Amino acid sequence: MSLTRFSIAPMVLAGVLILAVVATGAPQETPASSCPGLDGAAGAFAEGRLEEAIRGFETVACDASVAPFARGLALFGLAEVALAKQDTAGALAAWERLEADATLLRFHRDIAKRRISETRRIARGLSARDPETYREPLPLLPEPGRVFYVTPTGDDAANGSRRRPFRSIERAREAVRQLKKSSGGLPSGGVKIAIGAGEYVWERTLQLTAEDSGSAEAPVVYEGPAAVLCGGVRVSGWKPISDAAVRERLDQAVRSRVLEADLKPLGVEDWGDATELRRRPELFVDGKPQTLARWPNEGFVKTGEILGDDNFKLWNTIEGCRDGKFRYVEDRPSRWLDEPDVRLYGYWFWDWFEEYQKVASIDADAKTFTLTPPYSGYGYRKDQRYHALNVFGELDAEGEWYLDRRTQTVYWLPPQGLDVSKADVVLSVFDQPFVALTDVEHVILRGLTLQEGRGDAIHIRGGADCLVADCTIQRFGGDAIVVEGGLHHGIFDCTMRTLGCGGTRVAGGDRTTLTPGRHFVENCTVSNISRLKRTYAPAVHLDGCGNRIAHNLFEDIPSSAMRIEGNDHVIELNHIRNVVRESDDQGGLDMFGNPLYRGVVIRWNRWSDIRGGTQHGAAGVRLDDMISGVAVYGNLFERCGAVHFGGVQIHGGKENLIEGNLFVDCLAGLSFSRWGQSRWLEAIERFLPQAGEPAYASRYPELADLKSHADVNIISRNLFARCESVFLRDGGTGQVALNAIADGTLATQIASGGQIPSDSSLPRSVLFEPIPVEEIGPYESN
Residue 28 near residue 725 (C-beta atoms within 8 A)? yes
- Under the banding of pLDDT at 50, 70 and 90, the label for residue 755 is confident
Does pLDDT of 106 surpass 50? Answer: yes
On the question of pLDDT at 13 being above 60, the answer is no
More confidently predicted of 760 and 64: 64
- CA 422, chain centre distance (Å): 37
Percent of the chain beyond pLDDT 90? Answer: 93
C-alpha to C-alpha distance for 153 and 150, rounded to whole angstroms: 8
Positive or negative CA dihedral for 225, 231, 237, 241? negative
- What is the per-residue pLDDT across 76-98, written as a single tens digit (0 to 9) for each? 999 999 999 999 999 999 999 99
Distance of CA 647 to the CA centre of its chain: 16
In this model, does residue 576 exceed pLDDT 50? Answer: yes
Q: Where are the alpha helices (DSSP H) in 184-240?
A: none
CA dihedral angle for residue 700, residue 704, residue 705, residue 706, rounded to 10 degrees: 70
| Conformational region of residue 528, where left means phi above 0, alpha means psi within -120 to 50, and beta covers everything else | left
**Cα–Cα nearest to 350, from 102, 50, 614:** 614
Residue 15 falls in which region: left (phi positive, over 0), alpha (psi -120 to 50) or beta:
left
Is residue 282 within 8 A of residue 428, CB to CB? The reply is: yes
- Evaluate the CA torsion angle 635, 637, 640, 646 in order and state its sign: positive
Whether the Cβ atoms of residue 200 and residue 228 lie closer than 8 Å to each other = yes
| Distance from C-alpha of 701 to C-alpha of 106, rounded to nearest angstrom | 10
Instruction: Classify 747 as helix, strand or coil.
Output: helix
Report the pLDDT value the prediction gives residue 676, as an integer from 0 to 100.
Answer: 96
Please check the confidence at residue 21 and state whether its pLDDT lies above 50: no
536-540: list long-range contacts, CB under 8 Å, 24+ apart: 536/353, 536/560, 536/563, 537/479, 537/500, 537/501, 537/502, 538/502, 538/503, 538/562, 538/563, 538/590, 539/496, 539/502, 539/503, 539/504, 540/502, 540/503, 540/504, 540/505, 540/506
**In whole angstroms, what is the distance from residue 429 CA to residue 432 CA?**
9
CA 397/CA 109 separation, integer angstroms: 59
Percent of the chain that is helix, strand, coil (3-state, to 5): 20, 35, 45
Contact 57, 73 (CB under 8 A): no
Mean pLDDT computed over 573-584: 97
pLDDT digits 0-9 by tens, 431-460: 999 999 999 999 999 999 999 999 999 999
pLDDT band at 758 (very low <50, low <70, confident <90, very high): low
Whether the per-residue pLDDT at 16 is higher than 50: the answer is no
CA distance 135 to 137: 6
Phi-psi region at 195: left, alpha or beta (left = phi > 0; alpha = psi -120 to 50): beta
Tell whether omega for the bond before 281 is within 30 degrees of 0, i.e. cis.
no
What's the CA gap between 186 and 207, in Å, rounded? Answer: 19
pLDDT in tens, 141-168: 999 999 999 999 999 999 999 999 999 9
**Other beta carbons less than 10 A from residue 257's beta carbon:** 14
Q: Is the pLDDT of residue 120 over 70?
A: yes
Output the average pLDDT for the chain.
Answer: 94
Lowest mean pLDDT among 27-41, 109-123, 378-392, 444-458: 27-41
**Residue 569 CB-half CA count within 13 A:** 33
pLDDT at 704 over 70: yes
How far is the CA of 452 from the CAs of 194, 420, 539, 582, in angstroms?
A: 22, 19, 18, 25
pLDDT for residue 732: 85
pLDDT in tens, 303-338: 999 999 999 999 999 999 999 999 999 999 999 999
- Nearest Cα to 286, choosing from 598, 580, 498, 528? 498
Q: What is the Cα–Cα distance from 303 to 326, expressed in whole angstroms?
A: 7
**Cα atoms in the 13 Å half-sphere on the side-chain side of 402:** 30
Q: How confident is the model at residue 3 (pLDDT cuts 50, 70, 90)?
A: very low
Taking CA atoms, 682 is separated from 538, 677, 707, in Å, by 31, 9, 10
Cβ atoms within 10 Å, residue 695? 16
* CB contact set of 243 (below 8 Å; sequence gap of 6+): none
Q: What is the pLDDT averaged over residues 109-121?
A: 97
Lowest mean pLDDT among 145-159, 576-590, 723-737: 723-737
pLDDT, tens digit (0-9, with 9 covering 90-100), for 274-296:
999 999 999 999 999 999 999 99
Q: What average pLDDT score do residues 371-391 get?
A: 97
| pLDDT bucket at 11, cuts 50 / 70 / 90 | very low
Higher pLDDT, 631 or 760: 631
Dump pLDDT digits (tens) for 647-674. 999 999 999 999 999 999 999 999 999 9
The vertex-563 CA angle with 561 and 569, nearest 5°, equals 110
Rg (CA), the chain: 29
Q: What is the pLDDT of residues 352-370, one digit of tens each?
A: 999 999 999 999 999 999 9
Assign 3-class secondary structure to 109-134. HHHHHHHHHHHHHHHCCCCCCCHHHH
Integer CA distances (angstroms), 324 to 19, 305, 339, 353, 388, in order: 57, 11, 19, 16, 15
Chain center to CA of 367: 40
Task: Return the higher-pLDDT residue of 645 and 9.
Answer: 645
Is the predicted pLDDT of residue 623 greater than 60, yes or no? yes
Distance of CA 129 to the CA centre of its chain: 26
Q: Is the pLDDT of residue 427 over 90?
A: yes
What is the dihedral sign for C-alpha 358, 360, 363, 364? positive
- The half-sphere exposure of 101 on its side-chain side, counting CA atoms within 13 A, is 22
Q: What would the mean pLDDT of 575-585 be, rounded to a whole number?
A: 97
- Asked if the model's pLDDT at residue 135 lies above 70, the reply is yes
Report whether 526 contacts 552 (CB < 8 A): yes
Q: Quote the CA–CA distance of 576 and 552 in Å, as a whole number.
A: 8
Work out the number of other CB atoms within 10 angstroms of the CB of residue 420.
Answer: 15
- E strands, 307-408, in order: 311-314, 318-321, 325-328, 343-346, 355-363, 368-371, 385-389, 400-404
Q: Across the strands, what pairs with 650?
A: 623, 672
Per-residue pLDDT, averaged over 29-40, amounts to: 92
501 with 523: CB under 8 angstroms? no
Cβ atoms within 10 Å of 184's Cβ, excluding its own = 7
Q: Looking at this protein, which amino acid is placed at residue 768?
A: F
Q: Using an 8 Å Cβ cutoff, are 55 and 779 in contact?
A: no
**What pLDDT band is residue 28 in, cutting at 50, 70 and 90?**
low
d(CA 696, CA 246): 66
Sort strands 458-461 and 443-446 into parallel, antiparallel or unpaired.
unpaired
Q: Are 202 and 452 a contacting pair, CB within 8 Å?
A: no
Give me the mean pLDDT over the 197-212 stretch: 98
- Residue 427, helix vs strand vs coil: strand
| Three-state secondary-structure class, residue 464 | strand
CB proximity list for 396: less than 8 A, separation 6 or greater: 250, 251, 253, 254, 293, 297, 413
